[in-house]
Amino acid sequence: MLSKKQAKAFFLGGTVLFSAIFLALSVETVTSSMPEKTNDSQITEAVVRGKEIWDSNNCMGCHTILGEGAYYAPELTRVYSRKGESYIKTVLMAKEPWAPRGRKMVAYALSEEEANDAVAFFKWINEMDLNGFPPEPDPALSK
């Protein structure tokens, strides 16, 4: 059992140690190649509008992107490379709701310009270097 003095030293030592680790990792993140990996230089007005469409329609209420969101509907981090521009636009511009695999997708009936902005957002996300995230599914598990 620790005395009060030992417990206080243990607490303060742990606090200082882990604060230093946190600061070192924060500095490393900011000064490393993080800006290049997120390709922030490629953010256009269309990408910003696409992100606003994502937020205003609460897409994260059903979908996951970059590991954040709900798990009801498919993960969309790499949807641009998996499905392509025309598929994404078709889904977003659909006038009728549809239910792939029993899960109902809302019919947003976006205009062509709004769909193009959403595609630009998905393309920008797709081009990020995410160190292998999301992982490719194991074909052996899908049997």
Question: Treating both helix axes as pointing N-terminal to C-terminal, what angle do 112-126 and 45-56 enclose, rounded to 10 degrees?
Answer: 100
pLDDT at residue 35, rounded to an integer:
66
pLDDT at residue 1, rounded to an integer:
84
pLDDT at residue 143, rounded to an integer:
58
pLDDT in tens, 64-78: 999 899 988 889 999
Do the beta carbons of residue 50 and residue 120 sit within 8 Å? yes
Contacts of 83 (CB under 8 A, 6+ apart): none
Per-domain residue ranges of the chain: 44-131
- The conformation of residue 106, written as its DSSP 8-state character, comes to P
Residues of the chain with pLDDT under 50: none
- CA–CA separation, 81 vs 83, rounded Å? 6
**Other CB atoms within 10 Å distance of the CB of residue 65:** 18
Amino acid at 131: N
pLDDT at residue 33, rounded to an integer:
67
137, exposed or middle or buried, with CB in 10 Å at 0-12, 13-18, 19+? Answer: exposed
pLDDT at residue 142, rounded to an integer:
60
Fold classification of 44-131 is Cytochrome Bc1 Complex; Chain D, domain 2 (1.10.760)
Amino acid at 33: S
Contacts of 117 (CB under 8 A, 6+ apart): 46, 47, 49, 50, 53
